[in-house]
Amino acid sequence: MRILHLNEDNINGLLSELLKRSPHQYTEYESTVRGIIDDVRQRGDEAVFELTEKFDGIRLDAKSLSVTDEEIEAAYNEVSPKLLSVIKKALVNIRSFHEKQVQQSWFTAREDGVLLGQKVTALENVGVYVLGGKAVYPSSVLMNIVPAKIAGVDHIYMTTPCGKDGRVPASTLVAAKEAGVDKIFKVGGAQAIAALAFGTKTIPKVDKIVGPGNIYVALAKKAVFGHVSIDSIAGPSEILVLADETANPRYVAADLLSQAEHDELASAILITTNEKLAQAVQQEINGFLQVLSRHEIIEKSLEHYGYILIAKDKPQAIHAINAIASEHLEIVTANPYEDMTKIRNAGAIFLGAYSSEPLGDYFAGPNHVLPTNGTARFFSALSVDDFIKKSSIISYSREALAAIHNDIEDFAKCEELTAHANSIHVRFEE
């Protein structure tokens, strides 16, 4: 990892480097993605089958596209009792956290006959995209399905690529079933996003698509936005650790590497005011690289997007953290709760030496689908809110409208919208 003394120039340079990893930068793939989407939109299932054969090496049909009850039952027999127990325990925590996010409709009434309110309604159909291929992430299955289920979504459809043997990983199927999925389809890539966005004979059209994927999935979600809602355009994983002289350098190094192992574009950054800690963390990282199984991926990640930044003081460190707006932020300082109050921009914040990032990935309860590439400045973690919509309720009596009808007519005339003014005026014609 590069060790730099923090200043405004290298903060700006770092932000520029990190933003290069954004899916928005990969415009050379957009025409390919658009072609896939148009093909699925026009030919439906047949395009899905052909594209799946082309990209994943397996020919599906209308019958084999859907995961059967028998396949799910077989998955339960394949998954170890220990893993099933862990999934169930994680579900308890995830449900408990997200249940606290539920919003209710509300109404307020006045004596003059005015009723105002907000009606909260769950989305009807949601599509959940789950990574497949080399990746197996049952934790992401839970994080995407649970808040939708708690929100009250009527139908939750999941798409995930299968292997060349036509099978979906057993842990993925079990996690989906435990979380409450309604139907699972064995399709991935941009063709899966297109199928969910526009519907085919086999795959229903949905109102919203959530879940991270590769660059083709990210660009497909971007392309169909407006036809359906999406959660976000997910980029590579990120971790930023704020640590002082009280931090254990071995813990800090281990946490940085926990995200660097995701892929070569992952970012791992340490910001500290203590140069001795910076050197100790670098030493621990070198030691871990000798024994970790994904050391080649980690090394490339750290080579391009790994930094140890030494700040002159805490305010400068906090300024840099808010500028970077990382997906995951760990605060390992003498007063982590006090430091947390100064943070404006972070997807998830982990406080103290024993709140390492993987705790949030798997078990604590808060959602691990988080804003990346600096979007934590204006986006939030996936939540129950992502699966509801709100309708405003307005009801006025004649008496209430009479008191203010001239004001409304004046406002409408100011905007030269005479039909608007007339809509109010006709109710009080003599």
Residues 377-407: tens digit of each pLDDT:
999 999 999 999 999 999 999 999 999 999 9
Which residues is 395 bridged to in the sheet?
Answer: 115
Q: Does 430 score more than 90 pLDDT?
A: no
pLDDT over threshold 80, residue 11: yes
Q: 134 pLDDT exceeds 80? A: no
Residue 135: the pLDDT is: 72
CA dihedral 48, 51, 52, 58 (to 10 degrees): 120
Question: What are the beta bridge partners of residue 310?
Answer: 5, 272
CB-side exposure of 97: number of CA atoms within 13 Å?
Answer: 19
User: Stretch 328-353: mean pLDDT, rounded?
Assistant: 97
Residue-averaged pLDDT of the chain: 94
SS3 annotation, the chain:
CEEEECCHHHHHHHHHHHHCCCHHHCHHHHHHHHHHHHHHHHHCHHHHHHHHHHHHCCCCCCCCCECCHHHHHHHHHHCCHHHHHHHHHHHHHHHHHHHCCCCCCEEEECCCCCEEEEEEEECCEEEEECCCCCCCCHHHHHHHHHHHHHHCCCEEEEECCCCCCCCCCHHHHHHHHHHCCCEEECCCHHHHHHHHHHCCCCCCCCCEEECCCCHHHHHHHHHHECCEEECCCCCCCEEEEEECCCCCHHHHHHHHHHHHCCCCCCEEEEEECCHHHHHHHHHHHHHHCCCCCCHHHHHHHHHHHEEEEECCCHHHHHHHHHHHCCCEEEEECCCHHHHHCCCCCCCEEEECCCCCHHHHHHCCCCCCCCCCCCHHHCCCCCCHHHHEEEEEEEECCHHHHHCCHHHHHHHHHHCCCHHHHHHHHHHHCC
Provide the pLDDT confidence category of residue 18 given band limits of 50, 70 and 90: confident
- Confidence (pLDDT) at 9: 83
Q: Residue 238's pLDDT band (boundaries 50, 70, 90)?
A: very high
92-119 mean pLDDT: 97
pLDDT of residue 10: 81
Is the pLDDT assigned to residue 20 strictly greater than 80? no
| Active site amino acids | 327-328
Q: What is the pLDDT of residue 8?
A: 84
* Structure tokens, 41: 């939109």
What is the pLDDT, as a whole number, of residue 292?
93
pLDDT in tens, 306-322: 999 999 999 999 999 99
Which positions ≥6 away from 5 have C-beta within 8 Å?
Answer: 309, 310, 312
What would the mean pLDDT of 416-428 be, rounded to a whole number? 96
> What region, left, alpha or beta, does residue 416 occupy, with left being phi > 0 and alpha being psi -120 to 50 degrees?
left
Report residue 427 as tokens: 């109710």
| pLDDT exceeds 90 at position 217 | yes
Q: Work out the average pLDDT over 95-101.
A: 98
Q: Tell me, what's the pLDDT at 92?
A: 97
Question: How far is 105 from 6, CA to CA, in rounded Å?
Answer: 48
233 falls in which pLDDT band (50, 70, 90)? confident
Structure-model confidence comparison of residues 150 and 264, the more confident one: 150
pLDDT bracket for residue 282 (50, 70, 90): very high
Q: Which whole number is the average pLDDT over 331-335? A: 97
Confidence of residue 45 (pLDDT cuts 50, 70, 90): very high
Question: What percent of the chain is modeled with pLDDT above 70?
Answer: 99
What pLDDT does 23 receive? 72
DSSP-based three-state secondary structure for 134: coil
Residue 112 φ/ψ, nearest 5 degrees: -85, 10
Residues 139-168 have a mean pLDDT of: 96
- Please compute the mean of the pLDDT values over residues 274-280 and round it to a whole number: 96
